[in-house]
Amino acid sequence: MFPGEDKMKTKRLIFTVDLPLKKVWSILRNVEHHLPLLPGYIRHEMVAENEFLLLIKRKNAWINKWWNLRITVKEWQEPSTLSLSVEEMNKIFSGEALVQTTKAAAQKTLVKIYFKYDISGSLNKFFAHMIQTKDDEDIIQEIKSFLNGIP
């Protein structure tokens, strides 16, 4: 499963998309193309070949929170594995994501996304709630729509 399981919070999404594995990876290859999928996306900047700075905004009740994230591609093994690390610039939030894909049928791909994160400090529960605003099925449907919408 996800390497290094520990006290960090985890999320796992597993689904099949009606696209061949090669097409899924042609989409994954362009990281800048799918960063806008993240909830609260404002903008991003590529700072190195495998590193991006990302600004997102999350709203919870009366508070708007801006997150400055550094995303680093740690592993790229096409067509099976993409691994990322995510760190909030003020060290409030850190996490890792792992995307694994396998051919499910001639025109179908099994996608497994694992995400684990840790939120430090006294506002742990508050920020955790800001992150977990959508249920898994909504996230899966957004990802499927995105993948199927790419020509």
Q: What is the three-class DSSP state of 57?
A: strand
Give the model's pLDDT for residue 4: 47
How far apart are alpha carbons 119 and 108 in whole angstroms?
36
- Contact indicator for 65, 57 with CB cutoff of 8 Å: yes
How far apart are alpha carbons 63 and 42 in whole angstroms?
17
Give the model's pLDDT for residue 3: 47
Low-confidence ranges of the chain (pLDDT < 50): 1-5
Burial per residue of 111-138, b for 16 or more beta-carbon CB atoms within 10 angstroms, e otherwise: bbbbbbbebeeeeeeebeebbeeeeeee
pLDDT, tens digit, 9 for 90 and up, residues 27-40: 887 777 777 777 78
Give the model's pLDDT for residue 124: 60
Give the model's pLDDT for residue 110: 94
pTM reported for the whole predicted model: 0.78
Q: What is the three-class DSSP state of 151?
A: coil
- Contact indicator for 119, 128 with CB cutoff of 8 Å: yes
Give the model's pLDDT for residue 1: 40
pLDDT, tens digit, 9 for 90 and up, residues 5-21: 455 678 888 999 999 99
